[in-house]
Amino acid sequence: MHAPRLDQTLAGAHRVFLDTSTCIAYHSSVESVHPLARHLFGRIADPEDPLTGYLSVLAATELLIRPIRAGGADLTFMHTFLRAFPHLNVLPVDLDVALQAANIRALARLPIPDAIAVASALLSGCEAVVSNDRDWQGRLRVHFPQFRWVYLAELIEP
């Protein structure tokens, strides 16, 4: 299990921003990083662990598309996950996030969804960003070194 590497990378962090790919890995047992994502979400849910998870409303939107198409139990499951998972906060986009995202877009020329995600992470005081998208975190790491960037697949590579 590679959980000790993840825990070491997140040592001392209390606020972690999760991108869509991390949530997908948590919900999909066929993902190679599923055990790591399960461990991470287990820590977030644990009332004894100080780690709290944050998720952009854009990620929540992405997570709801397939369940809405499928309907029924899939939609109920994802809706419950997003609303009731312990210590997981879905961050709204308000004018403060819009202003920060516009600054990020203007200066770093990032796509608006990435700018909104980073603005959300910044304004919520996250110390780490966890992703399973090499390109996503690779594009952003150079612009935002104040975050610990965690690429899940990298933790399981030899």
Beta bridge partners of 39: none
Higher pLDDT, 41 or 137: 41
Residue 136 has pLDDT above 80, yes or no: no
- The whole-number pLDDT of residue 158 equals 61
With a cut of 80, say whether residue 53 has pLDDT above it: yes
Q: In 3D, which of 150, 156, 158 has the Cα closest to residue 10?
A: 150
Is a pLDDT exceeding 70 seen at residue 51? yes
pLDDT score of 1 more than 70: no
pLDDT digits (tens, 9 = 90+) for 95-121: 999 999 999 999 988 899 989 999 999
CA distance 124 to 132: 21
Q: Which helix (H) or strand (E) holds 98?
A: helix 95-108
Six token digits for residue 101: 């995202």
Comparison of pLDDT for 158 and 95, the residue scoring more: 95
Write down all domains in the chain, each with its CATH number in brackets: 3-156 (3.40.50.1010)
Residue 37 pLDDT: 96
Residue 135 reports pLDDT greater than 90: no
pLDDT above 80: residue 24: yes
Residue in the structure block whose two tokens are 């996030």: 97
Name 156's Cβ contacts closer than 8 Å, sequence gap at least 6: 2, 32, 33, 36
Mean pLDDT to the nearest integer, 46-71:
95
User: What are phi and psi for residue 16, nearest 5 degrees?
Assistant: -125, 130
- By CB atoms closer than 10 A (0-12, 13-18, 19+), residue 93 is middle
pLDDT at 150 over 70: yes
Does residue 152 surpass a pLDDT of 80?
Answer: yes
Residue 89 has pLDDT above 80, yes or no: yes
Which two structure tokens, joined as six digits, stand for 38?
A: 């399960």
How much is the mean pLDDT over the chain?
93
Q: What is the pLDDT of residue 137?
A: 73
